[in-house]
Amino acid sequence: MTTMTTITFDTHKFVKDLESAGVPPLQAEAFVRAQQEILSQALDSTLATHSDIERVERKLIEFDGGFKAIKWMLGIIAGGVVMLVLRAFFPV
């Protein structure tokens, strides 16, 4: 589902600023509409939606579970390596 982001800014002031800079009124209004559309499209492609955030949260939870298992495995391997090194220097 794609939703269009609403851009809120004072378009009337923007038009008046353009007109005071010498831009004809029709062109100023067209420029403001184009600017709104450009900003809306840019924000739609870069802003995260609620479902995007939920998806990332689920992935982080999955990753955390896998990371805990990896930590345990690395701990066991490190313990085994330490035991081998100790046996090499201190034979029984």
pLDDT digit string, tens, across residues 12-59: 998 999 999 999 999 999 999 998 888 877 777 677 778 888 999 988
Question: Using CA atoms, how far apart are residues 72 and 56, in angstroms rounded to an integer?
Answer: 24
- One-letter amino acid of 66: G
- One-letter amino acid of 21: A
Question: Using CA atoms, how far apart are residues 52 and 60, in angstroms rounded to an integer?
Answer: 12
Question: Cα-flanking dihedrals φ and ψ of residue 48, to 5°?
Answer: -80, 140
Q: What's the whole-model pTM score? A: 0.43
